[in-house]
Amino acid sequence: MRGVDVWFADGPHVLRELDLDVHAGQHWALLGPNGAGKSTLLALAGAQRHPSRGSVDVLGERLGHVDVRELRKRIGTVDVRLRIPGDLTVADYVLTGATQTVQPLPQRYTVEDREHVETLLAAYNLVTIAARPIGVCSQGERARARLARALMPAPELLLLDEPAAGLDLPGRADLLTALESLPDRAGNLASVMVAHHLEELPATTTHVALLSHGRFVATGPAHLLHDEVALERCFGRPVRALSVDGRWFAVAAPRDGQPSLRKHDPEEQRA
């Protein structure tokens, strides 16, 4: 992205002067408060909308100079807001990722497509529920099925819009484990994940972009999350992040209170 602005007719100016480079094999987290413009930025990356100003090149193709229908075939998307036909089995739902359609198109699927489904079901611990209607699956099972479906076309770019939204602790842990396997399964795959909570980031996150009021506060390697100044500028209050075995956690100060975010005190914990 170069000099990207997005505004809506008779509406807000959503993104301003954004520059961003995402390379093959990188896994980015896009963080920021509600209304920062995260989903709009993801829509640009997914060739779902065009910038109002500036240029966006996705997988070597310039938006505005490419058939976006063809470009989207090279992009996998995980979005919890997209409708899932509840009567589809888990296996058939994953299979629809090959055609990126809501309903299955049996005449268009190849033997290789069906073999790929079996591979993905095994990879994401879905084999035992493959014949179950997805409408009765747990949120965690659906999350892993969404990921498997997004990977069906062997995308070069994977976009995830709050994939862990609504998951309980075990469900989130299972999804993170699945996401952390991606670099081993598809080493050149690039990904961008929108998240509201640092706890939703896989340990394989390589880079971070902090977005606030439509502008980047900071972008860089994942250790940028240790920068408390950047986090406060992004979220509008003191935030401290820490990592354990590559997983991230954060605590924010109350808006009106002044208790400082104190460093961990082992003696106090024992007391």
Instruction: Print pLDDT tens along the chain (271 aa).
Output: 999 999 988 778 999 999 999 999 999 999 999 999 999 999 999 999 999 999 999 999 999 999 999 999 999 999 988 888 899 999 999 999 999 998 999 999 999 999 999 999 999 999 999 999 999 999 999 999 999 999 999 999 999 999 999 899 999 999 999 999 999 988 899 999 999 899 999 999 999 999 999 999 999 999 999 999 999 999 999 999 999 888 999 998 876 655 555 554 545 444 4
For residues 225 and 239, give the distance between their C-alpha atoms in angstroms, rounded to a whole number. Answer: 10
Q: Please tell me the CATH code under which domain 1-74+156-171+179-271 is placed.
A: 3.40.50.300
* Contacts of residue 122, Cβ cutoff 8 Å, sequence gap at least 6: none
Provide the residue count of the chain.
271
Task: Give the strand pairing for 27-31 and 53-55.
Answer: unpaired
For residues 78 and 70, give the distance between their C-alpha atoms in angstroms, rounded to a whole number. Answer: 18
Domain boundaries, the chain: 1-74+156-171+179-271, 81-154
Contact 206, 28 (CB under 8 A): yes
